[in-house]
Amino acid sequence: MSEEIYRAIVRALERGERAALVTIVATGGSTPQRVGAKMLVYEDGRTLGTIGGGCYEHDAAGKAREAIRLRRPHVSRYTLSDELSADTGLICGGQMDVYIEPIERAPDLYLVGAGHVSVEVARFAAAAGFRVHVVDDRDKFANADRFPGAEVVVDDIPGWLAGADIPSTAFVVVATRGHRQDFEAMRALVGRPLRYLGLIGSRAKVLKVFEGLEAEGADRGRLAAVHAPIGLDIGAVTPAEIGISIAAELVAVRSGRMAEPHVAAAAMRAAAGAPSLAR
């Protein structure tokens, strides 16, 4: 059964399907399954394999779906009491611990803009396990020499973004060569479901971009979900330091340590004392 589960995990990763692996990691007393028994739980509730059946397996499957949603591993302990045994028909009475591990393929990171900062973000993000994609309209900047191992696209940025099939699990960093290009990229991205959308630049620049987007009808809630200015505040100055700060923020979001943008549009509006971004 374990071999079948491992094959199913590979297929799920290839399809980009999210799942969680439930494994018995410790037992005591009489239990229906031994250490190492596994069950794969898919996001839609389907299961493969078993950790012994009964209501505790149902509970573990529910916790697995929650772990998928939160993208966090979890350990649960079950005491197979006489009452539980009577309810399930199992003659047990022992204890078991299960480890619930969310499984999803390495997240896609789209770098919109191929400048010096993007080179550094790509380097650190790839080392941290992201699948890097780069798009720019300048082949002098967007090429395999500058971005080894990345998927590189040379195309009109807003045109490519409008037609690109970017998954909802993707991370997107907008760091083009200028204000107009940033605005056009954000216009194409801000209404899309993404795990992370970040915009590089000063607060003044970010506010100006947001003002323009809101004037065109962009939803404030969508704007407030944008990470901007992008990157953790570590006093970064050089492209390498800025790349580290951005990559660190991406990891923080991926690990669940940063659930909300650290400088959301709403907070920036409040700081500016403006009731709306639109003029």
Give the model's pLDDT for residue 274. Answer: 46
Q: How confident is the model at residue 82, as a pLDDT?
A: 47
Q: How many CB atoms lie within 10 A of CB 110?
A: 25
Checking if the pLDDT of 214 tops 80, the result is: yes
Higher pLDDT, 198 or 275: 198
What is the separation, in whole angstroms, between the first and last Cα of the chain?
A: 63
Please name which of 129, 108, 52 lies closest in space to residue 60, comparing C-alpha atoms: 52
Q: Are strands 19-28 and 38-42 parallel, antiparallel or unpaired?
A: antiparallel
DSSP assignment of 239-262, as one string? HHHHHHHHHHHHHHHHTTS--S-T
CA atoms within 13 A on the CB side of 39: 25
Query: For the chain, what are the domain ranges?
Result: 2-103, 108-272
Residue 36 · residue 118 · CB < 8 Å: no
For 128, 183, 241, the CA distances from 233, given in Å and listed in that order, are 19, 23, 11
* 268 pLDDT more than 70: no
Provide CATH code, domain 108-272.
Answer: 3.40.50.720
Instruction: Give the chain's mean pLDDT.
Output: 88
Residues written for the chain: 279
The secondary element (H helix, E strand) that includes residue 64 is helix 54-70
pLDDT at 88: 47
Q: Where does the pLDDT of residue 48 fall: very low under 50, low under 70, confident under 90, or very high at 90 and above?
A: very high
